[in-house]
Amino acid sequence: MFPGPPNPEDASAAAHPRLQEIPSTEEELQAGWIFAVDKPLEWTSFDVVNKLKYALRRAYGLKSVKIGHAGTLDPLATGVLVVCVGKATKRIESEMAGSKGYRARLKLGFTTPSYDAETPEEAFSGAVFPSSTAALEAALPNFRGTIHQRPPLYSALKIGGQTLYKLARKGQEVEIPTRPVVVESLEIDSFDSALGSVELSIVCGKGTYIRSLAHDLGHDWGCGAYLAALRRTHVGPWMESDAWSLPNLLDVLSQREAARTAE
């Protein structure tokens, strides 16, 4: 697990006056508002949206509110989730189109069916571990720029109208075509040969699966690997330092609800 974002009351929040604010009126909310939320571990992106939808309705006395997120984060990932409300939901596609940054930790010597820690690990047969950071870096040029990537079977993508992870849980094998994605930068932050652990910094375009990147790197390194931890550090212009912690945002909305009902 990676550390959380900086304190929301730091200089970044001062530089962006809308950060760490909520709309002052129902009309301002419905006109369009974007929250950058630090998604907690083990929450789905839908969980966050659903919780916020309920809290916003109560805080502003609304029967309904349009809300959606710009780019899914897996339950085992944390970090920046962009949530669009009201007329800002029309911007979801454009918000998703921006580059995304990640910090990822890979465990070497093992693979998993889901390419992350959601499913049991399996020892990689005949694993030969890289001896140095330089040996790891030698494979990285093949994974920068436009690459062809095969999404994981355990994903929400659909093939022939059927969701892949549902087929995977039934034990069905599916041929998943590769697709082009863009990896703008890929760097090694640390390598612990004793623990078999590698930490990466990644900036990539829409549709890139970091789990698939971890899996494919492991094969190129000759030792296997899976994604052990992931944190999204930015979505387009929305940075970690912009993000509300979910408990703090819910608390602020609860305070507004209490003030509204007391009037």
242 in active site: no
Q: Which residues pair with 188 in a beta bridge?
A: 200
Pick from 65, 67, 113: nearest CA to 90: 67
Measured distance CA(25)–CA(79) in Å, rounded: 28
Pick from 223, 263, 244: nearest CA to 34: 244
Token pair in block for residue 26: 């129902």
Token pair in block for residue 47: 């969980």
Measured distance CA(53)–CA(45) in Å, rounded: 12
Phi-psi region of 204 (alpha: psi -120 to 50; beta: other; left: phi over 0): beta
Measured distance CA(128)–CA(224) in Å, rounded: 9
With a CB cutoff of 8 Å and minimum separation 6, the contacts of 171 are none
User: How is residue 138 annotated by DSSP?
Assistant: T
| DSSP E strands, the chain | 33-39, 67-69, 77-85, 100-108, 110-111, 122-123, 145-149, 158-159, 162-163, 179-192, 197-204, 225-235, 238-239, 244-245
Catalytic residue among 10, 38, 74, 220: 74
Contact (CB, 8 A) for 227 and 117: yes
Q: Catalytic residue positions? A: 74
